[in-house]
């Protein structure tokens, strides 16, 4: 049994577990119980001779030796396992260096990429105000009443360009007069009725024929009217 224990020691040591120690201890306890309870209680003269004494002592010695060997092997395996752990822990810090190198490489690449990026073209500001479409020129016309008091204007025909048309009436007669601009039967605009001085009327006209006249009752029928041609 001593030879078997010696042969099993390397295998059990390789396992680095406490189970072999428990097994060896259990066998030693079982052997002690077997001697005291089974054989000792039944046979009071055991061991009866020297051979039995030597056999009991040999088996007991082997079991004790195996138990002690397992205790030593188990404790040594645990120590070896604990000693191996710091080595692994010490080798792990090398990882952050690799990460740091990768970060530095990325930063360098980003910086390089940023320097090669083309600069954005700034939009060119435009100044000035667009020229608005030209508006039609305003036409200013002059008209006067007969200063001697006759019911008439000094013109029967007037012409203007399409757009804003202003007629200024001068009344030097002793009677009150005005001038109105009409398209058919619709009055588009007229001056106040007045005596002495000048008054104006402004209307926007499209190309066509219009009538101007005095709206004082009886004056138009007496001859105070004319034609305004807009082109």
> Domain extents for the chain?
2-89, 139-230
pLDDT in tens, 102-123: 444 444 444 444 444 445 555 4
What is the pLDDT, as a whole number, of residue 17? 63
List Cα–Cα distances, 155 to 7, 170, 206, 221, in angstroms. 149, 12, 21, 16
Q: Which two tokens stand for residue 24?
A: 């060896």
Residue 106, SS3? helix
Residues of the chain with pLDDT under 70: 1-17, 31, 40-41, 44-48, 76-136
What is the pLDDT, as a whole number, of residue 136? 59
What is the pLDDT, as a whole number, of residue 205? 97
Q: Going by DSSP bridges, is the β-strand pair 139-144/163-170 parallel, antiparallel, or unpaired? A: parallel
pLDDT in tens, 63-80: 788 777 777 777 765 555
pTM as predicted: 0.43
What is the pLDDT, as a whole number, of residue 19? 77
User: CB-based burial of residue 175 (10 Å sphere; 0-12 exposed, 13-18 middle, 19+ buried)?
Assistant: middle
User: Does 139-230 carry CATH code 3.40.250.10?
Assistant: no
Nearest to 76 by CA among 24, 27, 10: 10
Cα separation, 214 vs 156, in Å, equals 12
Which residues, including other chains, have CB under 8 Å from residue 69's CB and lie 6 or more apart?
5, 9, 24
User: CB-based burial of residue 100 (10 Å sphere; 0-12 exposed, 13-18 middle, 19+ buried)?
Assistant: exposed
């Amino acid at each position: 049994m001593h030879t078997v224990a010696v042969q099993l020691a390397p295998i059990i040591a390789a396992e680095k577990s406490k189970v072999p120690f428990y097994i060896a201890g259990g066998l030693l306890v079982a052997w002690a119980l077997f001697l005291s309870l089974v054989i000792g209680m039944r046979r009071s003269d055991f061991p009866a001779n020297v051979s039995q004494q030597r056999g009991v002592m040999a088996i007991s010695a082997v079991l004790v030796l195996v138990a002690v060997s397992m205790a030593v092997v188990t404790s040594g395996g645990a120590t070896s396992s604990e000693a191996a752990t710091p080595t692994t822990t010490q080798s792990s810090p090398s990882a952050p260096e690799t990460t740091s190198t990768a970060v530095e490489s990325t930063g360098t690449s980003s910086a390089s990429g940023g320097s090669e990026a083309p600069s954005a073209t700034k939009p060119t500001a435009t100044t000035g105000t667009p020229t608005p479409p030209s508006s039609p020129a305003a036409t200013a016309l002059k008209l006067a009443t007969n200063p001697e008091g006759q019911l008439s204007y000094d013109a029967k025909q007037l012409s203007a360009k399409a757009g804003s048309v202003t007629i200024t009436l001068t009344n030097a007669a002793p009677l009150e007069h005005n001038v109105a601009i009409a398209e058919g039967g619709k009055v588009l605009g007229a001056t106040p009725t007045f005596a002495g001085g000048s008054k104006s009327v402004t209307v926007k006209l499209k190309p066509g024929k219009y009538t101007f006249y005095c709206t004082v009752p009886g004056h138009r029928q007496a001859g105070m009217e004319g034609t305004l041609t807009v082109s």
